[in-house]
Amino acid sequence: MGIWEQLNNPEFNPLEFEGFLSQSGGNAFTLSPKKWIDTTNAVGLTVKAGRGGGTYAHKDIAFKFASWISAEFELYIIKDYQRLKSDENSRISLDWNVNRVLAKVNYRIHTDAIKENLIPPELTPRQKSNVYANEADLLNVVLFGTSAYEWRKKNPDKDGNMRDYATIEQLLVLANMENINAIFIEQGMPQIQRMDALYDIAKSQMEAILKTKSLVEMKSLGAKGKQTKAIADNEE
């Protein structure tokens, strides 16, 4: 109970808690819920007098008591938690990875178009890599509002690149933009014109995707899950 209060209650009195903790091993030690609440400013337990009264605990503390009383109950909690996390990770991983793979496949189409139409044979390997990076950054700036270099400077603690942290919507638009930019390159469209056209396309596609029924339903399910968790966290 003391650790729970330290994690969730900024008004908790840790010094009084330490006093109770040091005495708790003695045979003569007793502690009522009311004394615990009054002395330490605890909020995880509440005591209600009168009809329908009694001692009530936050569900985290109630689960701990139940687990202490019943090993079987504790095992059910552990198994259910693992099942829920596995289901959640599977859904998130599937949605994200499918779109990340799609973006990678389209990136190959994109780089092939660059190779065939923008890279003269006389360029050195280093110069060629700069062209690839320049075209990739065109899409980065259009979709994410920043270049890869600027993103790395702002996020030195993160691994990978900005695309690894993109939303599902952004990855879907990115996959489409890579295809469209490849077509623009093959048509000989100058980069500045492609940038303006891609920005308009990205904006309209993002607005359309955000209104897509299946995506709205998916996000609604996610929001309901978060809401349920928040309600459960506040239940006693």
pLDDT digits (tens, 9 = 90+) for 164-219: 888 777 888 888 888 898 899 889 998 888 888 988 888 888 877 777 655 555 45
Secondary structure of residue 46 in the 3-state scheme: strand
For residues 159 and 53, state if they share a domain.
no
**Which structural domain, as residue segments, surrounds residue 8?**
2-57
Per-residue pLDDT at 232: 43
Exposure b/e, 37-53, CB count within 10 A at least 16 = b: beebebbbbeeeeeeee
Residues 44, 1 contacting (CB under 8 angstroms): yes
For residues 215 and 104, state if they share a domain.
yes
Domain count, the chain: 2
Strand partners, 78: none
Per-residue pLDDT at 97: 62
For residues 132 and 181, state if they share a domain.
yes
Asked, for residue 53, whether it belongs to a domain, the answer is: yes
For residues 8 and 120, state if they share a domain.
no
Residues 3, 42 contacting (CB under 8 angstroms): no
Asked, for residue 69, whether it belongs to a domain, the answer is: no
For residues 142 and 192, state if they share a domain.
yes
Regions of the chain with pLDDT less than 50: 218, 221, 224-236
Residue 142 CA, distance from chain mean position: 23
The structure tokens 């399910």 sit at: 221
Per-residue pLDDT at 142: 85
For residues 29 and 137, state if they share a domain.
no
Tokens matching residue 200: 């308009």
For 55, the enclosing helix (H) or strand (E) is strand 54-57
Asked, for residue 81, whether it belongs to a domain, the answer is: no
Largest CA distance in the chain: 90
Residues 128, 129, 132, 137, CA torsion sign: negative
pTM: 0.44
For residues 182 and 226, state if they share a domain.
yes
d(CA 149, CA 143): 15
d(CA 214, CA 202): 19
Asked, for residue 73, whether it belongs to a domain, the answer is: no
Residues 138, 198 contacting (CB under 8 angstroms): yes
Per-residue pLDDT at 108: 65
Per-residue pLDDT at 46: 92
Residue 108 burial (CB count, 10 A): 11
Asked, for residue 109, whether it belongs to a domain, the answer is: yes
Which ranges of the chain does DSSP label H, i.e. alpha helix?
A: 2-8, 14-23, 33-40, 59-69, 71-117, 125-144, 148-154, 168-186, 191-210, 213-234
